[in-house]
Chain A
Amino acid sequence: MNTSLLNPFNITYPTAVQASLPSQCALARFDRSGRFVAAGRSDGSAAIWDLETRAAVRWLEGHVKGITSVDWSRNSRFVLTSSKDWNVIMWDMASDIDPPQRKTTIRFDASVSSASFHPRNSQIILALLQSGDAYLVDLRKRYRGRVELEDLQDDSDEESGTSPRSAMTVAQFDPTGRHIFVGTSTGSILVFNTRTKTMVARHKIPGAGIMKGFDFAKSGRRLVTNSSDRTLRQFTLPIYPSPNADGEYTEQELEPTHKFSDPINRIAWHAMSFSPDGEWLAGGAADPASHKIYIWDIANDGQLASTLDGGREPLIHVHWHPSKPSIVSTTNHGNILIWHCPSPERWGAFAGGFEEVDENVEYGEREDEFDIEDENVLAERKMKQEEEEVDILTGNDAEEVVEHPRVNGDEEDIAWADDEADEDVRGWKMKIVMEDELDMI
């Protein structure tokens, strides 16, 4: 609601730190409403921060070793944490108690590097292990199971026996959930169909080195990769065919539309995140002595627009707000920085009927402006104006609609994902747990 009263020209990228939350957290992610941040710590605990009160409202105590990733279900009811203690835990924010109840614990036989929810159904979970294997875990009754994603490497390539098995180093759903994108230690991107768990494409990215991270623009058509050659690459993704029975896949080299790097300092990147409209890209620099976020203007040929300086505490992670020019970044000192785009105070708003102007304006007097009118005529005109109907009920709350990007020919995949819908329904409410030390009556 407030956007219509705020200056619409402000909506670009954040420029200043609005708040610093001391949390001992290494990584932090917004939920899809942008009201909460889930933050994971290296001691194994995680916290849910309410950005309106800037306070931790839930503590997730369950892991015994460092948290490696956090993810939110689409309506923010469930939070997924993965840890070096070999476990993935799904937490239910609708439980009335703090710490909240666990919905499920999924145990693996190695340290878990990341875990994420399917964008349409939180009972489908993708997990990547430190050992370089990725698993799709389905918790639904009908599909219950755990499937390893297999890289269909042509055996003929390995005749020499010198090429080592490439390990999976990144695994993420695309925004539609139809495909899983996996990055490997040999600089390839593998694309799997989520429903059939079969590989549909392989993209070799020459010169990339080890894949370190992915981020998708909201539409799902653009992907940016982070890799060990200290370069972020943006790709426009092709349309992938539905998997065929023969298990064939397309082998295709992708040419990046943009490459982002720091040519002077050769800085590596810890993380990157698209703005909600996909027009900006934020890159978190792996600089050991400063906290720097690079902002590139993708609409403007990928030019560097700004470098945000967050002080001396080195950066670990960045994530862009789902709808606002706001970023959350974490420091290795354990602080969460919330970045915003400050709007200048408009003192004119304090005076009713006044308008603030930037420069002097010659006032154009209306012909009848100072005519003395009959009061009855005035009253009558006002009555006429008030005849106009008003709508006090319906609004235009675009933000309430969770939209899923769609591609052609994915009906079967969507039906599969929507089968046995989860309990992550819109309109659930998080109970406000009042801290102890209540005053007695």
Chain B
Amino acid sequence: MSHSTATLNYKPQLILSGHKKSISSVKFSPDGNLLASAAADKLIKIWDAMTGDIVQTLSGHSEGISDIAWSAHNDCIASASDDKTVRIWSLDDTSVRILRGHTNFVFCVNYNPRSNLLVSGGFDETVRVWDVARGKSLKVLPAHSDPVTAVSFSHDGTLIVSCAMDGLIRIWDADSGQCLKTLVDDDNPMCSHVSFSPNSRYVLASTQDSTIRLWNYQTSRCVKTYTGHTNRTYSLVAAFSTAGGQYIVSGSEDAKIYIWDLQSRRIAQILEGHKDVVLAIDTHPTRKLIASASMEKDLTIRLWSEE
């Protein structure tokens, strides 16, 4: 099978402005109709992913927000904030549930596939698992020795992967909370972000040596390396793009967005337009659409399309 690195042709489609401070996270809803964004201005905004119209603004956090996640049913958003809480926002009746327990900034949050559990991580160096229905903490994993920068479930909900500024990537058994594996690179660079591949057989990890690695966690081997972007300071997000071809997408501190071909590791396209560090990106679940967001000097969310 040959994977010719067909050059991509993503073009800017929409520019959304509204946030007043650095945007930390953008996420498409699982059905692909909505886009949610969160920022240091303590607000979550929900946009129509097709038209770019603002649908809803959620306020309540008393400090900036670092991460958001959609429930699988498209009806709830969980947010992680510097006010040490995780909040679950119901979009149907605008009720909110506050999960208290973290003793420092909460930095990352994700639902499990059934959306009955939440997992969060933060500057208190723990990973916490929450019961969504009751709003109670189920597990506190003393996971890392530095702030936890990303945490998420595998597609079947049986594993949790976490990474931290201590440079370690850890894989946990979701049921027992036991650590099953630790992945570490020789140079031990700080970890910005980690997520499972769609089939959960690999993890994609961004590190602050300006490198993104795809790990086979069974064999503890790095199977792909993606470079070219700049990541030295911030926790940048990398994502898989599987709508028409397989690519890796990441923001960069040079204000650009990089798209690599998954197999060949060659840069397929670089998107230019933002005026500051591109912290957050997300890929649409079914269409060739990328959302990106940038920091103070820019404050825009951009949608890029290849259709």
| Interface residues, chain A, with chain B CB atoms under 8 Å away | 1-6, 35, 50, 52-55, 57, 343, 345-346, 349-353, 382, 385-386, 388-395, 397, 399, 429-435, 438-441
CB atoms of A394 and B199 under 8 A apart: yes
B residues 260-275 with Cβ under 8 Å of A?
A: 262-263, 265
For the complex, give the distance between the alpha carbons of A180 and B171 in Å: 46
CB atoms of B178 and A434 under 8 A apart: no
CB atoms of A53 and B133 under 8 A apart: yes
CB atoms of B116 and A50 under 8 A apart: yes
* Contacts A/B (CB < 8 Å), 13 sampled: A2-B175, A4-B218, A5-B159, A50-B116, A53-B116, A55-B131, A57-B116, A351-B182, A353-B184, A386-B223, A390-B224, A392-B201, A431-B75
Query: Which of B9-17, B93-101, B283-291 interfaces with chain A?
Result: B93-101
CB atoms of B71 and A439 under 8 A apart: no
Q: Is B48 an interface residue (CB 8 A)?
A: no
Q: Which residues of A contact B73 (CB under 8 A)?
A: 429, 431-432
For the complex, give the distance between the alpha carbons of A433 and B92 in Å: 12
| Interface residues, chain B, with chain A CB atoms under 8 Å away | 1, 3, 59-60, 71-73, 75-76, 88, 90, 94-98, 112, 114-117, 131-135, 138, 154-159, 168, 170-171, 173-176, 178-184, 197-202, 214, 216-218, 220, 223-225, 240, 242, 246, 262-263, 265
CB atoms of B182 and A52 under 8 A apart: no
CB atoms of B171 and A5 under 8 A apart: yes
Are A432 and B116 also in contact (CB < 8 A) when A5-B173, A53-B133 are? yes
- Minimum C-beta distance from A17 to chain B (A): 14
CB atoms of A395 and B116 under 8 A apart: no
- The main secondary structure of chain B at its interface with chain A is loop
4 cross-chain pairs, A with B, having the tightest CB-CB distances, nearest first: A352-B184, A392-B197, A2-B158, A395-B199
CB atoms of B265 and A441 under 8 A apart: no
For the complex, give the distance between the alpha carbons of A351 and B59 in Å: 41
CB atoms of A439 and B156 under 8 A apart: no
CB atoms of A53 and B131 under 8 A apart: yes
Specify which of B116, B154, B224 is in contact with A386 (CB 8 Å cutoff): B224
CB atoms of A5 and B180 under 8 A apart: yes
For the complex, give the distance between the alpha carbons of A302 and B296 in Å: 71
CB atoms of A438 and B97 under 8 A apart: yes
Q: A392-B199, A434-B90, A435-B133 are in contact. List 4 more A-B contacts (CB 8 A).
A: A53-B138, A389-B1, A391-B201, A430-B114
- Minimum C-beta distance from A76 to chain B (A): 12
CB atoms of A390 and B96 under 8 A apart: no
In the complex, residue of chain A having the shortest beta-carbon distance to the beta carbon of B185: A352
Q: Which residues of A contact B138 (CB under 8 A)?
A: 53-54
Q: Which residues of A contact B157 (CB under 8 A)?
A: 52
For the complex, give the distance between the alpha carbons of A55 and B130 in Å: 12
CB atoms of A345 and B178 under 8 A apart: yes
For the complex, give the distance between the alpha carbons of A43 and B233 in Å: 61
For the complex, give the distance between the alpha carbons of A394 and B96 in Å: 37
- Minimum C-beta distance from A342 to chain B (A): 8
- Minimum C-beta distance from A385 to chain B (A): 8
In the complex, residue of chain A having the shortest beta-carbon distance to the beta carbon of B90: A434
Query: Which of A1, A351, A397, A435: most chain B CB closer than 10 A?
Result: A1
- Minimum C-beta distance from B206 to chain A (A): 16
For the complex, give the distance between the alpha carbons of A434 and B142 in Å: 27
Q: Which residues of B contact A4 (CB under 8 A)?
A: 218
Query: Which of A2, A349, A439, A440: most chain B CB closer than 10 A?
Result: A2
Q: Which residues of A contact B95 (CB under 8 A)?
A: 434, 438, 441
- Minimum C-beta distance from B96 to chain A (A): 5
Are A429 and B72 also in contact (CB < 8 A) when A343-B176, A438-B95 are? yes
In the complex, residue of chain B having the shortest beta-carbon distance to the beta carbon of A382: B225
Specify which of A2, A54, A353, A429 is in contact with B180 (CB 8 Å cutoff): A2
- Minimum C-beta distance from B216 to chain A (A): 8
Q: Which residues of A contact B240 (CB under 8 A)?
A: 392
Q: Which residues of B contact A432 (CB under 8 A)?
A: 71, 73, 76, 114-116, 132-133
In the complex, residue of chain A having the shortest beta-carbon distance to the beta carbon of B158: A2
CB atoms of B182 and A392 under 8 A apart: no
For the complex, give the distance between the alpha carbons of A53 and B138 in Å: 7
- Minimum C-beta distance from A140 to chain B (A): 30
CB atoms of A6 and B71 under 8 A apart: no
- Minimum C-beta distance from A53 to chain B (A): 4
CB atoms of B199 and A434 under 8 A apart: no
CB atoms of A393 and B180 under 8 A apart: no
CB atoms of A435 and B134 under 8 A apart: yes
Q: Which residues of B contact A439 (CB under 8 A)?
A: 96-98
